[in-house]
Amino acid sequence: MATILIADDEKNIRSGLQIAFEDEGYDVLTAENGEIAWKLINTTSVDLVITDIRMPVMTGLDLLEKSSSAYPLLPIIVLTGHGTIETAVQACKNGAADFFTKPIDLDHLLLTVSKCLANRKVLDENKRLTEELEKVKRESGYKKIIGQSEKVSRMMGVIKQVASTNANVLIQGESGVGKELVADALHNLSLRKDKPFIKVNCASLTPTLLESELFGHEKGAFTGAIARKKGRFELADGGTLFLDEIGEIDLSTQVKLLRVLQERQFERVGGEETLTVDVRVVAATNRNLAEEVKKGNFREDLYFRLNVVHIEVPPLRERKEDIPLLISHFLETLSSKNNRKVDSISAQARKALFAYSWPGNIRELQNAIEAGVVMCHGRTIELEDLPEQIKSIDNEDMLSVKLGSSLEEVEKELITRTISFCGGNKTKAATVLGIGRKTLHRKLLEYNMERDDD
Ligand SMILES: Nc1ncnc2c1ncn2[C@@H]1O[C@H](COP(=O)(O)OP(=O)(O)OP(=O)(O)O)[C@@H](O)[C@H]1O
Ligand SMILES: [Mg+2]
């Protein structure tokens, strides 16, 4: 349970709050002035501070200032006597989480404390993930591919092992899984990294255009060929040629491609001269190329030439454990791209991102986070900021609230579901709900959900 530090020079307030918070199951420390409180913050593990403003030796405002610069994530709630509301407002500007005037509304204070602690949990989690992200980037040797699931680690292992060779690589995987990134990694981790990395999208060109794009053409080779043009194979000499969507090329281009792969030689369209190149070919497809070979759509000999090393990029639904790091990564990159300061995501929104099946894979996750960053109102992406298909998925861990419901209905439903989520254990349910065991008991009685002797 969380530890709360109460700093006030009035003994009655200290002991009153201590009893109330201990009743709710918190561990409580007390201090009679700011200096003692500051010592406790530095020497014990305090999760939240409640402090009076006017205290001898060191005031609450000084404590606030020291603490928020040394421990920016530590929530501090300020208490104030009459007539010092302006100071309290100033305190909030200086980083206090909230302020209360005396006499204190205890229920409200308890609620605020549990909210601050939940919020802090989100921020702590966020900080941990940011640190982990940095570590993954440092250790992988290639910063752009984020993920530490077993499948991604294994894939990174293969990439590192084959990058420095000249073997052709065929990358297969669904749309949006990161095939182009893998090709980029293969080039950048290779000895060819200072030479060109040339990309051709084989699906976007007609067969004739693709041929001249790949091999180049001589002046006058066809109508419109007003000058000699180098092809991508020539441009990639010494480096890597990435043939994207290789499954889409027609059979006649396949024959020509096979020859370059076998002999490293070719002629420009309409040309006589035979050119020799040193090119490493990496190809990608979202089709199952072996199937296409069986169907007669793809030459078997070309398939074997391309598929010396095979890398299968796993779909996101098979490595959901990578989602938290990917979220942190996209929050960082997409909030700076959109000039926003969004650095966290609510627990509910995170749950929805986990429950969704991601047919569009990482590209779809990236788009969802970007939508969240753009739509959100503060620093935290909430469930409602996410795209429709994600926030509306049927998630049995989720409570959907119909507009028009009363607070009582929602509270009843949440309590019932949480108790069953905790396997009937009410103490655990109270902890999850962020309230004390006694408060839960009182609510159950109030809503006729429990017998008095239960
Ligand atoms: N592991 C990853 N870490 C970080 N970003 C990733 C990762 N995988 C993919 N991305 C990002 O997701 C987007 C889609 O990746 P990419 O274009 O490489 O996918 P693809 O498999 O080539 O998709 P398509 O089949 O549609 O061409 C890119 O913006 C890429 O930077
Ligand atoms: Mg691609």
Q: In terms of CATH, what superfamily is 407-446? A: Homeodomain-like (1.10.10.60)
Categorize the per-residue pLDDT at 398 as very low, low, confident or very high, splitting at 50, 70 and 90.
Answer: low
Nearest CA to ligand 1 atom 13: 363
- Among the atoms of ligand 1, which is closest to the Cα of residue 366? 12
What average pLDDT does range 212-229 have in this prediction? 88
As a whole number, mean pLDDT of residues 391-406 equals 69
pLDDT confidence of 120, banded at 50, 70, 90? Answer: confident
The alpha carbon of 357 and the centre of ligand 2 are apart by a number of angstroms equal to 20
- With cut-offs at 50, 70 and 90, classify the pLDDT of residue 400: low
> Which residues lie with the beta carbon below 6 Å from any ligand 1 atom?
145-147, 173, 175-181, 286, 329, 362-363, 366
**Does the pLDDT of residue 452 top 60, yes or no?**
no
Which atom from ligand 1 is nearest to the alpha carbon of 180? 18
User: According to the model, what pLDDT value does residue 124 have?
Assistant: 80
Domain ranges of the chain: 3-125, 148-314, 317-391, 407-446
- What phi and psi, each to the nearest 5 degrees, are found at residue 370? -65, -45
In percent, the amount of the chain with pLDDT more than 90 equals 61
pLDDT of residue 355: 86
Q: What is the pLDDT of residues 64-107, one digit of tens each?
A: 999 988 888 899 999 887 656 677 777 877 788 888 888 889 99
CA distance 42 to 420: 39
Max intra-chain CA distance, the chain = 99
Q: What is the pTM of this model?
A: 0.67
d(CA 250, CA 199): 18
54 pLDDT above the threshold of 90:
no
What separation in Å is there between the alpha carbon of 333 and the centre of ligand 1? 14
- Nearest-angstrom CA–CA distance, 163 and 173: 19
Q: Is residue 19 pLDDT above 90, yes or no? A: yes
Domain 3-125 has CATH 3.40.50.2300: yes
Confidence band, pLDDT 50/70/90 cuts, at residue 255: very high
The stretch 336-356 carries a mean pLDDT of: 89
The pLDDT of residue 361 is: 96
Closest-CA residue, ligand 1 atom 9, reads 178
Handedness of CA 17, 19, 24, 27 (dihedral sign): positive
- pLDDT over 50 (residue 454): no
Q: For the beta carbon of residue 265, count every other beta carbon within 10 angstroms.
A: 12
How far is 333 from 130, CA to CA, in rounded Å? Answer: 12
Binning pLDDT at 50, 70 and 90, where does residue 132 land?
A: confident
How confident is the model at residue 453, as a pLDDT?
45
CA of 145 to the centre of ligand 2 (A): 14
**Distance from Cα 179 to the centre of ligand 2, integer Å:** 6
Ligand 1 atom having least distance to the Cα of 184: 18
Q: Is the dihedral of CA 29, 33, 34, 35 positive or negative?
A: negative
Atom of ligand 1 minimally distant from the CA of 183: 18
Pull the structure tokens for residue 56.
């001898």
Q: What would the mean pLDDT of 239-268 be, rounded to a whole number?
A: 94
Least confidently predicted of 36-50, 94-108, 176-190, 261-275: 94-108
Closest atom of ligand 1 to 179 CA is: 21
pLDDT of residue 103: 86
Output the 3-class SS for 364-429. Answer: HHHHHHHHHHHHCCCCEECHHHCCHHHHCCCCCCCCCCCCCCCHHHHHHHHHHHHHHHCCCCHHHH
Q: What are phi and psi of 96, to 5 degrees?
A: -70, 145
Q: Which helix (H) or strand (E) holds 221?
A: none
pLDDT value at 227 more than 60: yes
Beta bridge partner(s), residue 230: 216
- Per DSSP (E only), the strands in 32-165 are 48-52, 76-80, 98-101
Average pLDDT over residues 382-387: 94
Confidence of residue 394 (pLDDT cuts 50, 70, 90): low
Quick one: average pLDDT of 283-294? 96
Residues in the chain: 454
Average pLDDT of 416-421? 81
CA of 199 to the centre of ligand 1 (A): 15
Q: Region 285-313: what's the mean pLDDT?
A: 96
pLDDT at 286: 95
- Quote the ligand 1 centre to 176 CA distance (angstroms): 5
Which pLDDT band, with edges at 50, 70 and 90, does 409 fall under? confident
Instruction: Give the Cα separation of 80 and 74 in Å (integer).
Output: 19
> Which residue's CA lies nearest to atom 18 of ligand 1?
178
Tell me if 3-125 shares its fold with 407-446: no
CA distances in angstroms from 71 to 38, 49, 254, 403, listed in the order given: 11, 11, 63, 39
Q: Does domain 148-314 have CATH number 3.40.50.300?
A: yes
Topology of domain 317-391 in CATH is Helicase, Ruva Protein; domain 3 (1.10.8)
CA angle 172, 175, 181 (to 5 degrees): 65
Summarised one tens digit per residue, pLDDT across range 322-335 is 999 999 999 999 99
Q: Please report the pLDDT score of residue 76 as a whole number.
A: 94
Residue 341 has pLDDT above 60, yes or no: yes
Determine the pLDDT at residue 82: 63
Q: What is the pLDDT of residue 419?
A: 85
Could you tell me the pLDDT band of residue 297, with boundaries at 50, 70 and 90? very high
